[in-house]
Amino acid sequence: SLTMITPFVWMVLSSFKSDGEMMAIPMRWLPTVWRTDNYVTTFNMAPWGRYLVNTLVITGSSVLLQLLVASMAAYAFARLQFKLRNLLFVIYLSTMMLPYQVTMVPSFIIIKNFGWIDNHLSLIVPNAFSVFGVFMLRQFFLSIPTELEEAARIDGCGHLRLFWEIIMKNSKPALATLTLFIFKGVWNEFLRPMLYLNKQELWTMSLGLSKFQGNYVSMWSNLMCGAVVTVIPVIIVFMFTQRYFIEGIVASGIKG
C-alpha cells in the first residue's frame, strides 16, 4: 500500500511547489512555500470545464453502453445453449492477447471511413464492446444458481425477463466492479483521444494535461495540478463502489 500511494502523495505535494523546487536535489517532500496559485494558473491556461464535460460525456456513455452489451453477451455465453458456444467464447476471449497497437491502424481507417474523426462517437462506440467485460460478467453469471431461473420459467418468464429480473438484479457487485474498471480506463485514456480528436474544444482531461508538456519546456508543477484534478473523480467513484468492487472481484472468479 505504501509503495502504491507514495507517487500520489508526491504528485499532490508537487502541485504546490515551483518547478525548480520540484527538481531540487536532494529531494524535498514538503514545499518551502505552498503555492496555491499553481491551481489558478493551471485553470486559466486551459478550458478545464470543457475538458471535464467532454470526458464525462464520453465516460458516462461508454459505461452505459458497455454494461448493456457486455451483460447481454455474457448472459448468452453463460445461460443460452447453442452450437460451438464454448469454442466461440474461447476465440472471442483470445482477442484479449492482441494489444491495441496491433489494431490501431485498421481501427483508425474504419473510424475515418465512418466520418467520426473529431467526433466523440469515435471513442464512445468502440468502448461499447469489451472482451474483458464479457468474460468477467460471464464468470459471475455462472455463479448464480440455475434454480432461480427454473422457478422463474415455471412462472412464465422469458429470456428478457430472466435476464433483467434474475441475472441483472443479482449481479450488482459484478456490475459495480465493471463500472469502476470502465470508468477508470476511459477516464484516463490518452492514446485514442490523441488519434481521433484534433479540435481542442473536443479534448478530454487526459489530453488537456499534454498542454503543459512540450518538446523543450515542461510546466511540471502545473502538470501535477492537472493530474490531481484529473484523478479526483476516479477516487470518488471508487469510494462509492468500494464495497461492491471487493465483492465482485472475489465472486467473479469463483466459478467457470
Q: What is the pTM of this model?
A: 0.82
Cell of 212: 503543459
Instruction: Fill in the DSSP letter of residue 168.
Output: G
Asked whether 222 and 45 are in contact (CB, 8 A), the reply is yes
Asked whether 134 and 73 are in contact (CB, 8 A), the reply is yes
Is the Cα torsion angle 159, 162, 167, 168 positive or negative in sign?
A: positive
Instruction: Fill in the DSSP letter of residue 1.
Output: -
The confidence score (pLDDT) of residue 193 equals 92
Q: pLDDT tens across 220-237, in order? A: 888 888 888 888 888 888
**213: which strand partners?**
218
Q: pLDDT tens across 113-123, in order? A: 999 999 999 99
Q: Which residues of the chain have pLDDT under 50?
A: 252-256
C-alpha distances out from residue 255 to 105, 143, 165, Å: 37, 6, 21
The confidence score (pLDDT) of residue 150 equals 80
